[in-house]
Chain A
Amino acid sequence: MSEPIPRARPIAAARLMKRVMADHFLRLDEAARDPSRKVAWCNSVGPGELLHGFGFEVYYPENHSAILGATRKATEYIPYANARGYSPEICSYLTADIGAFMKGFTPLKKAYGIEAVPRPDVLVYNTNQCRDVQDWFRWYGRHFGVPCIGVHTHRNIDEVTDTHVASISGQFQELARDLAGIAGHSLDMDRFRDVVRLSARCSQLWEQVLRTAMARPSPLTFFDGTIHMGPAVVLRGTKVAVDYYETLLQELRSRVSDGVAAVEGERFRLYWEGMPIWGKLRSLSEQFLGLRSCVLASTYCNSWIFNQLDPDDPFDSMARAYTELFIVRSDPVKEQYISRMCADFQVDGIIYHDARTCPNNSNNRYGMPGRLADRLGIPYLTIDGDLNDLRLYSEEQARTSIEAFIEQLDQD
């Protein structure tokens, strides 16, 4: 008979995080109803610092859609967007979010008593991650009759050159001119620098948090990471986020020094490449606990590490930070990156999540798993699924594949 499944070890800072996230949404809700305050919508790796520099309250639709996914509401609302001509093959963050909006639903109501997502004064995107954010924001731009503006980033690049940086930095500066018109005042450079400084600090702390997983046993899992990255996504550039990660880091460091494992009896250490499957975080995390295997590092959680941010050179450093991101880079650079991660975190196997509706985060599609397996001598597994659309996920098949993968690691 199988042994009882060990229980997940809750992270104490989670309570603080809940409060921090609640305050964030409540503040946005107030701002949206206060004519003297302005709300900007931004994509998750968009120019949040610039928006805070102008004093906008910043709302991130991807975060909202991930909540739809995690609360298992996404699949219910995706079909409404499909029926309006937004294909089931495109980003299911977009389709879930727009579908829910069409039906007047938001998970913020149940969580915080908020009736609707905050009305934007402007929508700002960066195509560094994909084209879908632009199409997504434009839908809302048309709906609310507000400007939708953005930055167009180079994609699939090897090295980030000065030409790339100059182009993006120039676009940020143009964006600042447009934003000044909407904000009704020009950019306060001191404030902007301060935001960049706080964002850089948040990014450093978040990186340190994730790097605690290098310890054996790891004090945190990828699944913890997907929850605790919330403030790094939606509050970077604020002191609240910095304070939060200081608290979290302290807790994880003491776990490491006390030898406390996120997965009791950790036998295998795994890397997750690709998006989370938001509606299945808990069942996946429990399955890995039962298999005594820790998914402890990922490309995804690392996406909110922006090492280049520099308050003394805010425009250029932002341009560099947002172009150096993994998602913007070519396969050789991505492979180099994953190789380094696997070495640093002493990884035994890589799991690729082929998220049907997000080709941008599904790096298994151009032969990378085979190349990396040859290079690193580490086996891999590909799971077919999706970030939000659970119609595209076969739980039984994924569970069996994961179990069989661990059996395969076990035979060595």
Chain B
Amino acid sequence: MDVTVKLFAMLNRYAPDRRKSGEPFQVTLPEGSTIADLVVQLGIPDREVKVAFVDGRARASLYQLAPGAEVGIFPPVGGG
């Protein structure tokens, strides 16, 4: 299945072809994959991931992705 992925801030260095931070790209995963599986496939060390959003909702790393899901992955961020 295909999902759309956006990587933000420092995580952008794990995105293919030096795209802009948050610019979406497609990833093909086996059916039933979780956020954690996606993170492994992208080669992102687990400890660098703080929050992952799936279709606008923050989800735990064992959340199962559906085909066509939009996933945004963030390192620790703060401000205000």
Do A and B associate with each other?
A: no
